[in-house]
Chains A and B, each alone.
Chain A
Amino acid sequence: MTSGNTRTAAAVHASAHKLFSLRRTAAIATNTFRDLVRQKVFYFMLVFGLIIIGVSLALASFSFQGQLQTVMDVCLGAMSVFTMLLAVLATAMMLPKDMEDRTLYTILAKPVSRFEYLVGKLAGVTMILVVATLLMTAAFFVVLHFWQGREIENLQLTEPAERAAAAISKIKAGTFTPTLLGGIGVILLRSIVCAALTLMLSCFATSWLFTVIVSLMVILAGHLVPIARSVWQGPLGAADAPFHIAILMRLITVFVPDMQLFNIVDDIAVGISVDAGVFLHIAGLGAGYVLVYLLVGWLFFAWREL
């Protein structure tokens, strides 16, 4: 407390204001992370991830060959779906809940800009997504390692030594590859893009349900972007499509993220090797989407009446 009119060290320390402070942003990010962890959203999603990995084990045990492939396919698919759902659901509720509980008032009544608040919130969700992806990856790798061992054992028992050795080295070289890690990175990046998109929508939405529904619709529409692009950029050109369809397709390609871009994970799941340049291209575009959504969200949020 102050003594007379003398301000305390806390007051003096707090008065050095910066336009953008990493400290304030980190405070919001870690608080968002902690809040989400304690809401058990994260554990709930993890349990679902583990269930799906369990299902993959069951599927693989029924098939006579290609167990590794099945495990990889199912696990990567499950990781994609769960990280995406986690991103949308966790992000959609943040802003409306803070407004409803008036915690947003107490935060923005401190020397915190609305941009710092949004960046902090997105960073907090990103932290959750990183941890969720790491845990799912760890579980996935344990399962993959188990099935790799089973397949090697099976080859040693059923194939002649020379043929088995060649097949085993092929399996070893083709399981835990940098491409697989890159694929998991793409899954993570896609979930962050989904979180940024959801955050942008929640900046002008009036309910979290609206945000969830619209986000999922936009993500779904994102898989149609290449088709939409082909309508107005393709060999036939926009002139050949009806005017309203051409406009709609053009709007989709401008405002909707190209989710097909991230479907490279499907290729990785079936063992296709992907060049590092492709990953860099996806990372650049993903980061671009995140930045654009954040800035557009901020433009809406900056003028929103609280």
Chain B
Amino acid sequence: MSTPAITIENLTKEFTNPSVFSRGKVTAVENLSLTVEPGQVYGLLGPNGSGKSTTMKIVLGLVVPTSGRTCIFGRDSRDVESREAVGFLPENPYFYKFLTGSETLSFYGRLCGLGGKMLRDRSRELLALVGLETAADRRVGGYSKGMLQRIGLAQALVQDPRLLVLDEPTAGVDPAGSHEIRDLILRLKQRGITVLLCSHLLSQVQEICDRIGIMNHGQLVREGALDDLISIENQTEFVLENASPALLAELRERASAAGARVVCEQKPQQNLERYFLEVTAEQGGEKK
């Protein structure tokens, strides 16, 4: 059996209330246990303040737990070595704005022990991967929100990590950029990289995650394989193409005769994001 990418055991984190007038403890995470297997895309979901970011920070060793422990590929998160295998993209990241995109990647690469030709090649490769080749020599201070997110993703991938931790990777990014990031995550998944993802874009989570955990008030309230959690066991969906009214009427009759109930019958709608991307791509083509 392979070592889990992330192990969280009985994790609890309490913060001291910063208010001068009401001292006391605020519980951000309470007795949380979960495992993320290698190669999985795991979505950690929950409303704001549910403890997702705190959990991520503890996994990355940025915050010390009150009790319990977290491990990355079997190594305690508090050990610096555990981060050799991790790439992290925080929510709304900002980098040193006086550095260029290429210098930014070079800096993070050197932190991971890379150097020389290997680092230069790696930086070029990643800039191409996230579509920032033409902006490589521009200072990060002049990057748009989407570009910042993409350079953030590139820095997270610089040492070719086995685990990627992404906190709202598409926050503030336009639909096209968001679509690209989603595709990139899917490509990383195909290459065997484990992804821990926090996102409020539930449609996107549904498209890319194998397994999800839902947190609320610091507790894990639901956890499991995405398909198991959201499929409705006693219902079946057909999508028919070129079905005649007569065939549809017959199906309704047969269903009724067999004791089944037609819950819904409608024209399937295409995804709004896909429609938007098609329209903008067409417009772009016309302008060219």
Contacts and interface: CB of A to CB of B under 8 A. Distances in A.
Nearest to A102: B90
Interface in B136-184: 152, 155-162, 165
B83 A111 contact: yes
B14 to A, nearest CB: 11
A103 B80 contact: no
B158 A4 contact: no
Contact of A110 (B63, B98, B112, B162): B112
Contacts of B57: 105, 306
Contacts of A188: none
A17 B159 CA distance: 13
A303 B118 contact: no
Contacts of B127: none
Interface string A91-129: 000000000011101111111110000000000000000
A2 B160 CA distance: 7
B267 interface: no
Given A4-B192, A23-B115, A110 B83 contact: yes
A263 B160 CA distance: 52
Interface stretch (A8-16, A48-56, A60-68): A8-16
B149 to A, nearest CB: 12
A203 to B, nearest CB: 15
B94 interface: yes
B64, B90, B160, B191: residue with the most chain A Cβ atoms closer than 10 Å: B160
A5 interface: yes
Interface stretch (A30-38, A69-77, A219-227, A265-273): A30-38
Contacts of B165: 109
A8, A23, A28, A103: residue with the most chain B Cβ atoms closer than 10 Å: A103
A157 interface: no
B104 to A, nearest CB: 9
B262 to A, nearest CB: 46
Nearest to A305: B63
Given A35-B99, A109-B86, A13 B191 contact: no
Contact of B193 (A2, A35, A103): A2
A103 B99 contact: no
A2 B164 CA distance: 13
A27 B85 CA distance: 19
A166 interface: no
Contacts of B155: 106
A177 interface: no
A10 B118 contact: yes
B94 A102 contact: yes
B15 interface: yes
A201 B153 CA distance: 33
A145 interface: no
A3 interface: yes
Interface of A: 1-5, 7-11, 13-17, 19, 21, 23-24, 26-28, 31, 34-35, 38-39, 101-103, 105-113, 303, 305-306
17 contacts: A10-B112, A10-B119, A10-B159, A16-B113, A19-B80, A23-B115, A24-B113, A101-B93, A102-B90, A109-B87, A110-B111, A110-B159, A111-B80, A111-B111, A112-B80, A306-B62, A306-B63
Interface of B: 15, 57, 60-64, 80-81, 83-96, 98-99, 103, 107-115, 118-119, 122, 125, 129, 152, 155-162, 165, 191-193
